[in-house]
């Protein structure tokens, strides 16, 4: 039975069709589903990407040095955590932003035991700033925080509904997986998470569930055990 999860939410998903900034009606719908999960006893941590503002490697390539570009991405995740935390609170859900980098006024400095204690009390913890280090993505951050807080599973809420053998938008014959191993993900070079995150999850035996965030109710369905998306373990 799943009691504690860390959810990875795509920054781009928060922007909706605008592709930048926020689609607040959509953000609100996501927060309402998270509220339902918390009210039923689920302990929730959240990692949010920064792609609705800045994608370090893609946007900075050739213009900004890689370390600076990655740190800019960390700041984008802080903005997203602040926004989602505020919408959660507006829905009556206690929320705490825990940052991996020191930014006065943004949130508390990340502390593992503090984060666990907050989740046990029903507070949603938003892990901002990625890992605090360049050259790794928020994929690595979600696996790291899930392992540190002893989560039962990682929920990867994406813009696709499952893991496929190829991009289904480009390859109509792409095979959809209901279940796949981390080893096969690495062997096939499938874009589930970056290779660092995938290896870390595999080495520490924590399962991930990949599903579409387009319907926020999928978060609730997954934690209730419905077979949605792809199980990676």
Per-residue pLDDT tens digits for 53-106: 877 566 666 788 889 888 889 999 999 999 999 999 999 999 999 999 888 888
* Cα separation, 10 vs 216, whole angstroms: 12
Question: What total number of domains does the chain contain?
Answer: 1
Q: Where are the alpha helices (DSSP H) in 108-210?
A: 112-120, 138-148, 182-188, 195-203
**pLDDT, tens digit, 9 for 90 and up, residues 128-175:** 999 999 998 899 999 999 999 999 999 999 888 899 988 888 888 899
Closest residue by Cα to residue 185 from 169, 208, 157, 204: 208
**pLDDT, tens digit, 9 for 90 and up, residues 94-104:** 999 999 988 88
Residues in the chain: 233
Cα→Cα distances 228→37, 45, 99, 146, 223, Å = 16, 20, 31, 21, 10
Give me the CATH number covering residue 134: 3.40.1160.10
> Is residue 34 within 8 Å of residue 219, measured between CB atoms?
yes
Token output for 26: 């959509």
Torsion angle of the four alpha carbons 11, 17, 171, 227, in this order, in degrees rounded to the nearest 10: 60
Mean pLDDT of 188-208: 93
Q: Where are the alpha helices (DSSP H) in 99-166?
A: 112-120, 138-148
Closest residue by Cα to residue 136 from 207, 81, 56: 56
Token output for 208: 């991930």
Q: What is the DSSP letter of 96?
A: E
**What's the whole-model pTM score?**
0.92
- For 198, the domain range is 4-232
Predicted pLDDT at 159: 82
Closest residue by Cα to residue 159 from 53, 10, 20, 17: 10
**pLDDT, tens digit, 9 for 90 and up, residues 11-57:** 888 888 877 889 899 999 999 999 999 999 999 999 999 888 877 56
């Amino acid at each position: 039975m799943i009691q504690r999860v860390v959810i990875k939410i795509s920054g781009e998903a928060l922007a909706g069709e605008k592709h930048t900034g926020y689609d607040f009606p959509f953000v609100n719908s996501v927060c309402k589903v998270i509220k339902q999960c918390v009210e039923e006893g689920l302990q929730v941590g959240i990692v949010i990407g920064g792609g609705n503002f800045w994608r370090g490697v893609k946007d900075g390539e050739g213009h900004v040095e890689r370390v600076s570009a990655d740190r800019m991405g960390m700041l984008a995740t802080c903005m997203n955590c602040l926004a989602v935390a505020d919408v959660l609170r507006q829905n009556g859900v206690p929320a705490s932003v825990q940052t991996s980098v020191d930014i006065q006024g943004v949130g508390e400095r990340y502390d593992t035991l503090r984060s666990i204690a907050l989740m046990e009390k029903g507070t949603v913890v938003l892990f901002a700033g990625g890992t605090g280090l360049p050259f790794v993505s928020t994929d690595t951050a979600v696996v790291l925080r899930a392992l540190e807080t002893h989560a039962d599973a990682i929920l990867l809420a994406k813009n696709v509904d499952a893991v496929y053998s190829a991009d289904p938008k480009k390859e109509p014959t792409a095979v959809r997986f209901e279940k796949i191993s981390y080893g096969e993900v690495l062997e096939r070079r499938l874009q589930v998470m970056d290779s660092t995150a995938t290896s870390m999850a595999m080495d520490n035996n924590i399962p991930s569930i990949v599903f579409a965030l387009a319907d926020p109710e999928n978060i609730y369905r997954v934690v209730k055990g419905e077979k949605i998306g792809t199980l990676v373990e």
